[in-house]
Amino acid sequence: MLLSLENAGVYKSERWLVRGISMHVEPGEIVTLIGPNGSGKSTTAKMALGVLKADEGKTYRRQDLKASYVPQKLDVNWTLPLSVSRFMRLTNKASYSEIETALSSTQILHLAQKQMSQLSGGEFQRVLLARAILRSPDFLVLDEPVQGVDFNGEVALYRLIDDIRHKLNCGVLLISHDLHVVMSTTDRVICLNGHICCSGTPANVASSNEFKSLFGEHALSGLSLYKHRHDHEHLLDGQIDQSSKSKSNLKQNKSEKNHALRKAKNA
């Protein structure tokens, strides 16, 4: 076990942000936190990381746990001259080839010398994710890692996260609003609203009444409609990714979520 929270809670400004959180993360598994805005997802993640102290309950982290964190918000102001490749070495040392590999994995090698303050929202998220991966963590905390990322990129990044946890055997704590993706790649889902509403395997959670009352009956409907195939992919610099053409069989499972209209037309 990498870490666990036992009946933990955070108290701030005279109210409990979250309370009664019990959870644990094992190596190689993805645990996803879902819940409406202000339900304490980020707070729970910060508590798991030790950024916030639990005001009640117990927290346990394995000794020498190497954590990587993709925060929900990070502001690099203009006064800070910080290139992407320097940012990659923010909390750890890394050789140039390691940085290149990490940047390539999120398809942003071409941004290596750019300044952080010039990046778009989606590019910034890719840099954050690449940096988190570069550290080869035991425990990866991703707070809405694909916000602002374009649609194709979103799917690719989720696939990357899935790859990484197998390759590094690291535990992943994911906060996401993409219920469809969450339900397909997660081992366990924890549904939060100031406390744990329900938790378990995606299938169990999706069928629970608590989930339905939080997200509505139709949160996951329409899933099966969204299927079609692209025959090529674009790299971020606009070129067509040649390697993507050949692996169209891979595409099938990733395009679950893709737009349905074209499929309808074709049929």
Partner 1 sequence: MLDDFFIRAIVGGIGVAVVAGPLGCFVIWRRLAYFGDTLSHSALLGVALALLLELNITFTVFCISVVVAMLLMLLQRRASLSSDALLGLLAHSALAVGLVVLAFMTWVRVDLMGFLFGDILAITRADLMMIWFGGVAVLIALIKIWRPLFAATVSYELATAEGTRPDFANIVFTVLLAAVIAVSMKIVGVLLITALLIIPAAAARRFSKSPEQMALIAIIIGVFSVWLGLSGSLEFDTPAGPSIVVAALSFFILSILPLPNLKPRNQFQKIEPAKTELDSETP
Which residues contact partner 1 (rule: CB under 8 A)? 46, 49-51, 66-69, 71, 74, 76-77, 79-83, 86-87, 89-96, 98, 100, 109-110, 112-115, 118, 134-136, 141
Please, what is the minimum distance in Å from the beta carbon of residue 209 to partner 1?
A: 35
Please, what is the minimum distance in Å from the beta carbon of residue 9 to partner 1?
A: 19
Q: Which is nearer to partner 1, 14 or 231 (CB)?
A: 14
Q: Which is nearer to partner 1, 52 or 198 (CB)?
A: 52
3-state secondary structure of 6: strand
What HEC string does 17-70 produce? EEEEEEEEECCCCEEEEECCCCCCHHHHHHHHHCCCCCCEEEEEECCCCCEEEE
Q: Which is nearer to partner 1, 119 or 157 (CB)?
A: 119
Tokens 């390539």 locate to: 104
3-state secondary structure of 11: strand
Please, what is the minimum distance in Å from the beta carbon of residue 90 to partner 1?
A: 5
Please, what is the minimum distance in Å from the beta carbon of residue 116 to partner 1?
A: 9
3-state secondary structure of 191: strand
**Left (φ > 0), alpha (ψ -120 to 50) or beta: where does 258 sit?**
beta
Q: Which is nearer to partner 1, 116 or 161 (CB)?
A: 116
